[in-house]
Amino acid sequence: MGHTTRCVPLIRHLQAAGHKVTFAGNATQCAFVTKTLPIDTLHLQGYNITYSRKGSTFALHLLTQIPGILKSIRAEHSWLQQQVALHKFDGIISDNRYGLYHSTVPSVIITHQLRIHTGMGNMADNILQKLHYRFLSRFNECWIPDIAGEPNIAGSLSHPHTLPDNTHYIGPLSQLQKPSSAVTTGNTLLILLSGPEPQRTILAGILWQQAINQRRPVVFVEGSAGCAAPTTIPAHITWHAQVHEGQLQLMLQEAAMVICRAGYSTIMDLLLLRKKAILIPTPGQAEQEYLAQHLFETGVFYTAKQRGFNLTSALENTNSFSYVNSIDPADLQRFIPVLDRWSDQL
Mean per-residue pLDDT of the chain: 91
- Residue 50 confidence (pLDDT): 62
Class of residue 269 by CB neighbours under 10 A (exposed 0-12, middle 13-18, buried 19+): buried
Tell me the three state secondary structure of residue 89.
Answer: coil
Q: Give the pLDDT confidence of 143-158 residue by residue, as tens digits.
A: 999 999 889 999 999 9
Q: Give the pLDDT confidence of 241-271 residue by residue, as tens digits.
A: 988 878 999 999 999 999 999 999 999 999 9
Residue 73: inside a domain, yes or no? yes
Residue 57, pLDDT > 60, answer no
Whether the CB-CB separation of 187 and 217 falls below 8 Å is answered with yes
Residue 17, pLDDT > 80, answer yes
Q: Domain of 101: which CATH number?
A: 3.40.50.2000
Residue 284: inside a domain, yes or no? yes
Q: Examine the domain organization and report whether 307 and 335 are in the same domain.
A: no
Domain holding 108, by residue range, is 2-172+330-344
Q: Examine the domain organization and report whether 314 and 336 are in the same domain.
A: no
How far apart, in whole angstroms, are the C-alpha atoms of residue 273 and residue 24? 28
Total of domains in the chain: 2
Q: Examine the domain organization and report whether 6 and 137 are in the same domain.
A: yes
Q: Examine the domain organization and report whether 311 and 337 are in the same domain.
A: no
Q: Give the pLDDT confidence of 305-338 residue by residue, as tens digits.
A: 999 999 999 999 999 999 999 888 889 999 999 9
- Residue 75 confidence (pLDDT): 95
Q: Examine the domain organization and report whether 27 and 84 are in the same domain.
A: yes
Residue 184: inside a domain, yes or no? no
Residue 182: inside a domain, yes or no? no
Ranked by mean pLDDT, the top range of 113-127, 222-236, 304-318 is: 304-318
- Residue 163 confidence (pLDDT): 93
Q: Examine the domain organization and report whether 213 and 146 are in the same domain.
A: no
Residue 181: inside a domain, yes or no? no
Q: Examine the domain organization and report whether 265 and 230 are in the same domain.
A: yes
Q: Examine the domain organization and report whether 22 and 59 are in the same domain.
A: yes
Residue 104, pLDDT > 80, answer yes
Its pTM stands at: 0.91
Q: What is the mean pLDDT of residues 32-55?
A: 81
Q: What is the mean pLDDT of residues 157-163?
A: 93
Q: Examine the domain organization and report whether 89 and 214 are in the same domain.
A: no
- Residue 273 confidence (pLDDT): 92
